[in-house]
Amino acid sequence: MKLQRLLLFVDNISTWSGKATSWLILVLTTAVCFEVVKRYALNAPTAWSFDLDYMLYGTLFMMCGAYTLSQDGHVRGDFLYSSMKPRTQASLDLVLYIVFFLPGIAALAYAGWDFAHASWAIDEHVNDAADGPPVYHFKAIIPIAGTLVLIQGIAEIVRCIVCLKTGEWPARLKDAEEIDVVEEQLAHSQYVDEESRQRAIASVHDIDEAARQRSTTQGAERSEGPL
């Protein structure tokens, strides 16, 4: 139980960091809209907008890595992986984590500290323009994100070891799931009454059907073209 609480604690750290960073998408959207108005409506483009945009997006991309790993959301060859038994999955994951993940992420975090330290030491700014924005705070994200992913990766390695011993994957902190996953869980759930389960499944089907109809309508409109 102590080990499980520790794993969930690491999941919480990754989830919190990912959710906190996700608010930057609003800042990024505002910055892009501001630049569009200045460039095309006022004919007064800014020289630093592109640099700000890629730093914001890069921060989002890096800081959400640990969150995605905690949700088991990174891309894998699921066609083969999903058909394996839990112990086989754990064996494969453990080898890949040790051989590829640990060296790569450890190198990222280690080298990132050097990049960030040098950038802060020289008060580095973007040199594409005379008034370019500072870049040292962005480079500081590299070791922070690398460290968070490394901590979450160690937790995943522990999960692999536990699964090899018990034959079952330890529970992880679930934050968001896709519709088809929710539908499958509802269909097999033993903890809700039949009427509530059927209403939830029908709701999921309605969402799926509405999305399918919208896609069909848009496809038909594109194929017809302008009159």
Give the tens place of pLDDT for each residue, 63-107: 999 999 998 888 877 778 878 899 999 999 999 999 999 999 999
Mean pLDDT of 201-208: 65
Lowest mean pLDDT segment, chosen from 18-27, 138-147, 157-166, 184-193: 184-193
Q: CB neighbours of 183 closer than 8 A, spacing ≥ 6?
A: 201, 204, 205
Dihedral sign from CA coordinates of 8, 13, 19, 25: negative
Give residue 9's pLDDT: 92
Quote the mean pLDDT of the chain: 82
> Helix or strand or coil: residue 125?
strand
Give residue 227's pLDDT: 46
- The full set of domain ranges for the chain reads 2-74+81-175, 177-227
